[in-house]
A and B are shown apart, each in its own frame.
Chain A
Amino acid sequence: MIRQTIGMAFIWLGIAFDFLGVLGLVRLPDVYSRLQAATKCVTFGTAGLLFGVFIIKGFSSFGFKALLGIAFIFLTSPTAAHAISRAAHRGRIPLAEESVADLYESDGELKEK
């Protein structure tokens, strides 16, 4: 019973983080800040939800599949986010007007190409 309660609390928290991250995806001004909000929705939203499923189901095959899903998401999702942001910056997609610094541009890594 107490395991059910703790797991449902994690699932509620994960759903809330998912919803807030998607709200940031709609409301923020440019690609990079949208990507930042969306990645927050990954690393606590869906991972917290899968951790709640693991707590409810315990040490069964169901629970271990959820744990494997957490490990896989933590490995792959930041890699994909980094690749997308790097490709967007190299594809000359502009920043928002409100942004104050572009350190990746001023480092001079793009001038070599």
Chain B
Amino acid sequence: MRVARWLIGTAILGSLAALNFFVFEGPLLIKLINVSLFSSLFVLFRVVFGPSPADRIVAVDILGILIIGMLAIFGLFFDQGFFLDIALIWALLSFIASLAFAKILEGRRLDD
């Protein structure tokens, strides 16, 4: 069963690589942003299929961190400084959201 799953996955990835699915022509920074977007695909997998609520909370926290890095590369690519402002505000909101989710998970009220 395990060998069959490995074989199916290898066949799918090999056919995609043979059809030039992973080749992207563009600037270097856009390629780095693509790697970051691929990582956030993994994080969204953990958000959707997480077995417990704490897994989903951890995944949402890490998604905010990935988006901060992505915004920094965007600012470097377009040479504009206001992307870092968006990144700072995103960090603040992500922190507050994580604390609120942790408090709900622990079973306390929000005004406790």
Which residues of A does B touch, CB under 8 Å?
Answer: 8, 11-12, 14-15, 18-19, 21-23, 25-26, 31, 34-35, 38, 41-42, 45-46, 49-50, 53, 56-57, 61-62, 65-66, 68-69, 72-73, 76-77, 79-81, 83-84, 86-88, 90-91, 93
Contacts and interface: CB of A to CB of B under 8 A. Distances in A.
Chain B contact residues: helix, strand, loop or mixed? helix
Residue among B36, B85, B87, B102 with max Cβ neighbours from chain A (10 Å): B102
B52 A93 contact: yes
A42 B54 contact: no
A87 B57 CA distance: 11
Interface string B41-67: 011011000001111011101100110
A79 B92 CA distance: 12
Contacts of B98: 80, 83-84
Determine chain A's interface SS by DSSP, over half rule. helix
B3 to A, nearest CB: 19
B105 A84 contact: yes
Interface of B: 28, 32, 35-36, 38-40, 42-43, 45-46, 52-55, 57-59, 61-62, 65-66, 68-69, 72-73, 75-76, 81, 84-85, 87-88, 91-92, 94-95, 98-99, 101-103, 105-107
